[in-house]
Each structure stands twice: as structure tokens, then as C-alpha cells.
Amino acid sequence: MKKSAIRETLNRLLWDPKYKRNKEHVIEYKHRENSREVIKKIYVKDIVSIGGWYITVKCGEREKVVPFHRITRIISQEGRVLWAKT
């Protein structure tokens, strides 16, 4: 199976001691509202699980699945782009 750069970046943010202390990193993704796409933001700290092609995040009282193909950027708390869709 081909390695996913998104998955590797998210796992590094969750488990690498360099990043682990601070999980305020932002994930931007495309979300469809009615007939248009908008960019929404979620935080790495809200990740419940990482699958082979998606992440599950906590949104209030429920969980939401975000497929990797909808993710556009992963940004560190300092504002540095760690991964971006090309």
C-alpha cells in the first residue's frame, strides 16, 4: 500500500514528542454546503482516529469523518504549512 503523506503528517503531529505537547495545529478541508464548497477548520487535538483514507474528529457531541481527499492543508500552530495539496 502506498504511504499517505497526510496520514504520516497527522501521525507525526499526534505521536512525535516534538509536536505532541501542543495539538492546536489546524487541518483545513473542503466541505460542501448546499451547492458550494467552503473551507472549514478543525484541530489536530480533536482527532479521534486515523484510518487508511480518512480521519474521524470530534465535533461537539458527535464524530465526523473527513476523507483525506478533502483535506487541503495542515498548518502548525505557528502558522507554518506542514502539508498542502498540490
Q: Which CATH class is domain 5-84?
A: mainly beta
- Strand 71-75 to 47-50 pairing: unpaired
Q: What is the pLDDT of residue 17?
A: 87
Domains in the chain: boundaries: 5-84
pLDDT in tens, 24-78: 899 999 999 889 999 999 999 999 999 999 999 999 999 999 999 999 999 998 8
pTM: 0.88
pLDDT value of position 18: 82
Residue type, 85: K
At residue 1, does pLDDT exceed 60? no
